[in-house]
Each structure stands twice: as structure tokens, then as C-alpha cells.
Amino acid sequence: MSDPLPIVTRFAPSPNGSLHLGHAYSAIVAHDLARAAGGRFLLRIEDIDGPRSRAELADEFRRDLEWLGLEWEEVPAQSTRLAIYEREAARLADDGLLYPCTCTRAQIRDLPLRTGEDGFEYPGSCRGRCAGSDGEAPAFRLDVDRAMESVGEVVWRDAKKGSVIADPRAFGDVVIVRRDLPASYHLAATLDDAADGITLVTRGRDLFESTHVHRVLQELLRLPVPEWHHHDLVLDDNGEKLAKRRGSPPLADRRRAGDDGLMLAEQLRLRTFEGGT
Ligand code: GLU
Ligand code: ZN
């Protein structure tokens, strides 16, 4: 019998806002799962979100993680990998799995659709014909029906739910290449997890649905298949998930105020921290 693969996890924050308690918890889960198995814990800065990405925030993240008592290996940030995204997206396009879409968010919002987890679900109205064109570079969407025909039934393994059949249809024809970038979150994260040798993808359960898309992309791009651990979310006093846009207090504020980061990390591990369940 061969030895099981060493566990490699990662924390992959986007430097478009400060880290809050929810991120701290996510980083600790990934760190501890790796450490418990004698594995590796990686930090990857997901900084392709154009002007919203700020280099000084990545430095702040490193100081926050250090303050929490975590140790990590840092792998190249997403902004260094744009050529790889471009090359792999071209492969999907060559296989006839992508189509251009120039619709604006507003135009898509006007279409009759169900609201999905990600804000809205896109029904594929632009397959073969865009609802609107403004002469700008298009985004490229995955033709999900064709993709599913090509991969057949694929399953993925979730630490809590066990075997899950990949069904990416909740997102409709998801964007693979953004109008302003050579990748979307889904393509970039999937390729990076493979390049970084991640064997256990840990992230909040709010990203559970995204995993269906990633699993199908792995199959289409012939990438190694990790396992997933979707952890519970840290909630605020109103039972809502913490979010940068709702102004959840930055970890950096507590750090600068002289709070004890190691103690906070312990509280998060025991889930007895203030303002969370
Ligand atoms: N950059 C993503 C975020 O901050 C990471 C999501 C993931 O772990 O796949 O939400
Ligand atoms: Zn369109």
C-alpha cells in the first residue's frame, strides 16, 4: 500500500479589504488541518481583482496571520500567473466550451432569472447571441450543458457531506474569463490549487456551490482532484455572515490596539470568541 498523500492546505485571501474574524477562522482551520497531519499550509494572495487589489493589504494580512500565531509558506500571487490562465482558457475555448458575452450586469439583471447564491443565476441567454453589445471586450462563459456532456458524471469528496455529484448548474453558464481579466475567480482558483499541489481545499461553506464548478473545470482541464472541507462561518450578533462590505471590524485594528492574537486564535478554535457562534 502506498502512503496517503501529504496534506497541503491553503488560505487564499483577496487583498481588497482587511481580514476579519471570519478570515482568521478560515486561516486557522486550514493551518490546523495541515499541521495535525504533518502537512503544509500555504498562503496565496488572490490579487487579480484589478484596481480593487491593494499590495499594502497583502502585507497587513501577513502581519495578521503572524499575530494569530500561524506559520505558512507563501506561493506566488495570482497576478504572476495571468499567462497560465490565458493559456488554459484558450484550451477550453478550442474545445468549443466557451462563448463570448458582452452583457452588462444591468442587462443580465433585467433578464427573467432566479436569484442564485452568487447574486444571480445566469441562464445562458447569450449562447449564440448576446442580449447586448457595447463594442468592449467580451467575457467568456462556460457552456455548462456542453461541459457536462463532455465530462459525464463526476463526483467530489467533501469532508462533511462525503461523496457529492458535481452539479454546476446552480450558476448557469458561469463566467470563466472576465471582461477585464484573463480569468474569473473559478478558473484562477482551480488552476492555482492544482499548481500549488493543494490536496485539501478548505474554505467557508458559502463557497460550497462554487466547488461544483471547480470540480468540472478540473475534469475539463485534466487537473489533479483534491478533497474539500467547507467550514462553518463566523456569524455576527445578528446571525449574518461577516463581510467586508458590511464593515466587519478588521483584525488589524485589534492587533494595533494591542489585543492578544494568540488568545483570539484559541477562542476561535474553541468557538468561544465574542460576537460569533
Ligand atoms: N479569494 C477568495 C476569497 O477571499 C478565496 C476563496 C477560496 O478559498 O477559494 O473569498
Ligand atoms: Zn451576453
Mean pLDDT of 101-124: 59
CA distance 24 to 15: 14
Residue 12 Cβ < 6 Å to ligand 1 = yes
Q: What is the pLDDT of residue 172?
A: 85
Give residue-wise pLDDT tens across range 183-220: 999 999 999 999 999 999 999 999 999 999 999 999 99
Q: What is the pLDDT of residue 277?
A: 38
Residue 46 Cβ < 6 Å to ligand 1 = yes
Q: What is the pLDDT of residue 88?
A: 98
User: What confidence category does residue 251 fall into, taking pLDDT thresholds of 50, 70 and 90?
Assistant: very high
Tell me which residue has cell 481588497.
16
Residue 13 Cβ < 6 Å to ligand 1 = yes
Q: What is the pLDDT of residue 115?
A: 46
Mean pLDDT of 1-17: 85
Q: For residue 172, is it left (φ>0), alpha (ψ between -120 and 50) or beta?
A: left
- Start-end of H helices in the chain: 21-36, 55-67, 82-94, 105-110, 144-151, 185-195, 208-220, 251-256, 261-270
Find the 92 Cα to ligand 1 centroid distance in Å: 23
Helices 82-94 and 185-195: crossing angle in degrees, nearest 10, is 110
Mean pLDDT of 239-264: 84
Q: What is the pLDDT of residue 261?
A: 97
- How confident is the prediction for the chain on average, in pLDDT? 88
Find the 195 Cα to ligand 2 centroid distance in Å: 31
CA distance 224 to 192: 11
Residue 189 Cβ < 6 Å to ligand 1 = yes
Instruction: Give the least confident one: 90-99, 134-143, 209-218, 234-243.
Output: 234-243
174-to-118, 164, 219, 267 alpha-carbon distances in Å? 10, 20, 16, 38
Measured on CA atoms in the order 245, 251, 254, 260, is the torsion positive or negative?
positive
Mean pLDDT of 82-104: 93
242 contacts 21 by C-beta, under 8 angstroms:
yes
3-class secondary-structure state, position 122: strand
Among all ligands shown, which has an atom nearest to the Cα of 106? 2
273 contacts 264 by C-beta, under 8 angstroms:
yes
Secondary structure of 141-187 as H, E, C letters: EECHHHHHHHHCCCEEEECCCEEEECCHHHHECCEEECCCCCCCHHH
User: What confidence category does residue 5 fall into, taking pLDDT thresholds of 50, 70 and 90?
Assistant: low
The residue nearest atom 4 of ligand 1, judged by CA position, is 13
Whether the pLDDT of residue 275 is over 50: the answer is no
Q: What is the pLDDT of residue 118?
A: 47
Give residue-wise pLDDT tens across range 16-66: 999 999 999 999 999 999 999 999 999 999 999 877 889 899 999 999 999
Residue 14 Cβ < 6 Å to ligand 1 = yes
Residue 207 Cβ < 6 Å to ligand 1 = yes
CA distance 212 to 184: 15
Taking only Cα atoms into account, the Rg of the chain, rounded to an integer number of angstroms, comes to 19
**Which ligand 1 atom lies nearest to the CA of residue 11?**
8
Residue 43 C-alpha cell reads as 498562503
Find the 256 Cα to ligand 1 centroid distance in Å: 25
Find the 14 Cα to ligand 1 centroid distance in Å: 7
CA distance 237 to 260: 22
Instruction: Choose which residue among 46, 190, 208, 218 to substitute to test ligand 1 binding: the one with the highest number of ligand atoms within 8 A of its C-beta.
Output: 46
Find the 131 Cα to ligand 2 centroid distance in Å: 5
The residue nearest atom 3 of ligand 1, judged by CA position, is 13
The DSSP bridge partners found for residue 40 are 8
Residue 58 Cβ < 6 Å to ligand 1 = no
Separation of CA 267 from chain center? 25
Q: What is the pLDDT of residue 134?
A: 60
3-class secondary-structure state, position 72: coil
Phi, psi of 52, rounded to the nearest 5 degrees:
-80, -15
Q: What is the pLDDT of residue 107?
A: 64
Residue 47 Cβ < 6 Å to ligand 1 = no
Q: Between 273 and 275, where is the model more confident?
A: 273
CA distance 53 to 19: 13
CA distance 201 to 117: 20
